[in-house]
Structure 1
Amino acid sequence: MPPEWTNETAIAQWETLPRDVVEAMDADGDFAKRHLVNPHLLRLLGPLDGRRVLDAGCGNGYLSRMLARAGADVVGVEPTEALCGYSREREAELRQGITYVRAGLTSLPEDIGGPFDAVVCSMVLMAIPDWRPAMRACVEALKPGGTFVFAVTHPAFENLSATWREHGEYRLDRYLDEYEMPSTYATDFHRPLSAYLNEAADLGCRLREVVEPRLPAEAADGVAGVAFGRLPNFLIVAVGREGAA
């Protein structure tokens, strides 16, 4: 990554996210999360009733609230004041028993309430310049035998909608490089799929499942719908921390 990028500068971008954008994703995220990400996250996490779950990089807390509704005892961690504050506002209204902690993923507080049965990190790792310490913190927060599920934009198909609209097909270049991907509100960072999988292996995790979700035909609409039905815009990975449960 360019030297000017630190985790702190990346986090600062998310502090400026407009309130209406935060509120629009309140119930179950946006269209893509609703149809392509959330169903697989919940399936890979398995039964949640009574389990301790860490939502790492919880954003506005929508996934934490979904997990709590499924019976989990949830801790949500979010580094930005804007998003963590919104999550706490919603908890004050709904009283689901969720604990929200403002902290970066690379330096989780010792009293965060672990170890956890499961850690979920949805659409976060690709937004962190120095991401390896964050993945390590997620794994170390698990009980032995616990489940770590993470979702990222698929490294091979990050610009799926835009490329499909322009060319009627998908085109890929510089896959093996690491580089910035500016978007409307913040910058993500491309790195190859092997970086994520090899890091999880180096941390002592065993691969359980890799999901490249296809948009259901009944949800497809327009050019983006066609593209999402033919190529995976997201990558969802479940690994287990080695050791007896």
Structure 2
Amino acid sequence: MTDDRAGAATHADHADPPGVLRRPVTDAESRRANRGWWDADADDYQAEHGGFLGDVEFVWCPEGLREAEARLLGDVAGRRVLEVGAGAAAAARWLATAGARPVALDLSIGMLRHAAAAADRTGVRVPLVQADALALPFTDAAFDTACTAFGAIPFVADSAAVMREVFRVLRPGGRWVFSVTHPMRWVFLDDPGEDGLTAVHSYFDRSPYVEQDESGAATYVEQHRTLGDRVRELVGAGFRLVDLVEPEWPEGHEGIWGQWSPLRGRLFPGTAIFVAEKPAD
């Protein structure tokens, strides 16, 4: 999952603070910025969120929806599963304990270092691959299932190309499930409190959220797409959309994860989970 900046185009002020703006970026610029960001932020991210995500657990979103209950991937026993943007690979390790044959892929060596450390702690080991989601280093039809919880997709300029790559490496009949910040969150301020209940941005503004240094080089980039955009990306790649899950905020969950909070979560969705399949013929 991403850090507290998920949906960060809805940051806490109406005017962008210094070093923050909305501007076009290339895939190369996004790759360079986000690889550097996640390498540098990996320790802090795991320190803050590792307890919630667990070492051997598949958590789809800050609302706490778990694959063990949701079963969005279906029966994974014996299945070859690719976790794209795996981070510390807690989901891949859970998949291994469920009988799957997972591979965890991430662009950030910093996050994969935490994946290796968690494997040492738990004894649950899965193959770790450092690679770009835009150029998956696997043959066609190599996997039965692919998934990601807030990984990769918001951090590339051409997310439609990620859909095409996942389609390529899935076998016919394979399932692709991914969660992202719910697009409507980009309309609101990036604030878990009452200030985050006021709509201030256009839902239709797809300009990337960019943080940059004094030289103008991007240091963090996140992309916004509408629900319709995501559906068109999937269909354009050849997938069939099976379901769109918008998890409700559960009773008793009082945790705050960046802009996710009980106050906001009980009023409008914070996560969208797309369930798609590659046609069998």
TM-score after normalising by structure 2 = 0.75
CA contact (8 A) 1:212 1:234 kept: yes
- CA change 1:220–1:92 in 2 (3 A) is closer
> Which amino acid letter does the alignment assign opposite residue 19 of structure 1?
D
Structure 1 unpaired stretches of 5+ = none
Compared CA separation, residues 47 and 170, structure 1 to 2 (3 A): farther
Following the alignment from structure 1 to structure 2, what is the Cα–Cα distance between the partners of residues 170 and 39? 32
Q: Give the match for residue 72 of structure 1.
A: 100
Aligned CA RMSD, in angstroms, stands at 2.9
- Cα distance in 1 between the residues matched to 2:125 and 2:191: 43
Q: CA deviation at 1:8?
A: 2.5
Q: CA deviation at 1:230?
A: 2.1
Shift of residue 163 of structure 1?
A: 5.0
Give the partner amino acid of 1:17. Answer: D
Say whether residues 1:196 and 2:230 are aligned partners: yes
Q: Given that residues 142 and 171 in structure 2 are in contact (C-alpha distance below 8 angstroms), is that contact kept between their aligned partners in structure 1?
A: yes
Name the aligned partner's letter for residue 8 of structure 1.
R
Does residue 86 (structure 1) correspond to residue 114 (structure 2)? The answer is: yes
Give the equivalent residue in structure 1 for 2:169. Answer: 141
> Where does residue 24 of structure 2 map in the other structure?
2
Q: Deviations 1:76-134 (Å, cap 9, x if unpaired)?
A: 001111111221232244342411101111111136x9521110022121122232222
Which residue among 250, 260, 264 is the counterpart of 1:216?
250
1:120–1:41 CA distance, 2 compared to 1 (3 A):
farther
Give 1:240's aligned amino acid: E
Higher RCO, 1 or 2 (CA under 8 Å, sep at least 6)? 2
1:228 aligns with 2:255: no
Q: What corresponds to 1:12 in structure 2?
A: 36
CA–CA separation in structure 2 for the residues paired with 1:84 and 1:3? 25
**Cα distance change on mapping 1:159 and 1:59 into 2, 3 Å:** farther
Query: Which residue does the alignment assign to 2:10?
Result: none
Displacement of 1:37 = 4.2
The residue type equivalent to 1:103 in the other structure is: A
How many corresponding residue pairs? 242
Per-residue CA distance 1:53-97 (angstroms, 9 max, x = gap): 100010111211222222211100011111112212322443424
Contact preservation (8 Å) 2:188, 2:196: no
Structure 1's 94 and 49: CA in aligned 2 closer, same or farther, altered over 3 A? Answer: same
Partner of 2:82: 54
Structure 1 residue ranges, 4+ long, deviating more than 6 angstroms after superposition: none
1:206 — aligned with what? Answer: 240
Do the aligned residues in 1 keep the contact of 2:109 with 2:130 (CA within 8 Å)? Answer: yes
Distance in 2 between residues matched to 1:27 and 1:136, nearest whole Å? 34
* Aligned partner letter, 2:53: G
Q: Conserved in 2, the CA contact under 8 Å of 1:157 and 1:172? A: no
In structure 2, the CA distance between the partners of 1:209 and 1:217, relative to structure 1 (3 Å rule), is: same
| TM-superposed deviation, 1:234 | 0.5
1:227 Cα deviation after fit? 1.5
* Contact in 2 for aligned 1:14/1:80 (Cα 8 Å): yes
- The sequence identity of aligned pairs, in percent, is 24
Relative distance call for 1:32 and 1:231 in structure 2 (3 A) is farther
Which 10-residue stretch deviates more, 7-16 or 215-224? 215-224
Tell me the distance in 1 between the aligned counterparts of 2:32 and 2:155. 11
- The one-character-per-residue Cα deviations of 1:152-192 (angstroms, maximum 9, x if unpaired) are 00011246674562447341532112123358x94321121
Asked if structure 2 preserves the Cα contact closer than 8 Å seen for 1:28 and 1:62, the reply is no
SS at match of 1:7: helix
